[in-house]
Amino acid sequence: MNITLRDITFSYDKDPVLNGINAAIEHGDLVALVGPNGSGKSTLIKCINGILAVSEGEVLLDGTNIRTIPTAERARKIAYVPQTEHKAVPMKVFDAVLLGRKPYIFLKPSNSDLEITSGILKQFDLEDVAMRDVHTLSGGQQQRVFIARALNQQPDILLLDEPTANLDLKYQMEILGLLRSLTQQNITIVIAMHDINMASHFANRVVMLKQGSVFASGGREIVTAENVEQLFQVKVRIIYENGTRFIVPVE
């Protein structure tokens, strides 16, 4: 699905937190949303999701205003992994991931719902902990459960707010690699993330947010030392390792 953000403005109270955001996200894009703390990444993700109603402008999914899409249909189309997941009631990992099938389940899960859930658990390396309570897992394992639940929803659009913050390096690479491979299967992904190198490695489009406005957007070539310095107010330099470009801060 395409996501069009047209002149979006949003305020929690008086002052706007998002200021005239425009973006055209294409079907199959993996977009990294980067920017300083408080720049509006989480707020923008909640606007795309429809959790927050924009004050001005519109969010269009394949040209249709999100507000006119019935809630049940929206639940099947969009999956969202929030930045901080409040601990849910004690629940087995299997059941927590099965919850992703909720928009499809009528009365009780079908065999296909159970099969799809088992497949996702395997894909996320969660088979061994499937019968454990979610709240007994480590932070990173829990994060994998939440991402698995979102994908179990088989959404057209997947929104993730700092999904790799709790993950060790191996799972950061695995999950981001998995997400990138999913874009081949008709899914559009938007990820708010802080690691600028991971963003430019895995995303095909980068949107830089600064104080609620788009500071720069485009392909990964916009992740230049100049842009990163201006965006985060730090000095950086570029290093090359085996042909890959890395941005590192300079003290």
Asked whether 93 and 132 are in contact (CB, 8 A), the reply is yes
Q: Among Mg ion, ligand ATP, none, what binds residue 230 when CB lies within 5 to 8 Å by partner kind?
A: none
Q: Which stretch binds Mg ion (CB under 5 A): 36-44, 89-97, 169-177, 239-247?
A: 36-44
Contact call for residue 234 and ligand ATP (CB under 6 A): no
Contact call for residue 153 and Mg ion (CB under 5 A): no
Contact call for residue 41 and ligand ATP (CB under 6 A): yes
Residue number with CB closer to Mg ion (40 or 50): 40
Residue number with CB closer to ligand ATP (43 or 172): 43
Residue number with CB closer to ligand ATP (101 or 210): 210
Minimum distance of Mg ion from residue 15's CB (angstroms): 17
Beta strands per DSSP E along 62-181: 64-65, 78-81, 157-161
Minimum distance of ligand ATP from residue 125's CB (angstroms): 27
Contact call for residue 82 and ligand ATP (CB under 6 A): no
Which CA distances in Å does 39 have to 30, 91, 136, 180?
Answer: 20, 34, 33, 25
Rounded Cα–Cα distance for residues 54 and 46 (Å): 9
CA-based torsion, 155, 160, 164, 167: positive or negative: negative
Q: Which stretch binds ligand ATP (CB under 6 A): 36-44, 114-122, 136-144, 218-226?
A: 36-44
Q: Among ligand ATP, Mg ion, none, what binds residue 55 when CB lies within 5 to 8 Å by partner kind?
A: none
The residue type of 176 is: L
Contact call for residue 35 and ligand ATP (CB under 6 A): yes
Rounded Cα–Cα distance for residues 251 and 249 (Å): 7
Sheet holding 64-65, edge to edge: 16-25, 3-11, 56-61, 64-65
Contact call for residue 179 and ligand ATP (CB under 6 A): no
Quick one: residue 93, left, alpha or beta (phi over 0 = left, psi -120 to 50 = alpha)? alpha
Contact call for residue 49 and ligand ATP (CB under 6 A): no
Interacting residues with ligand ATP (CB under 6 A): 12, 17, 35, 37-43, 83
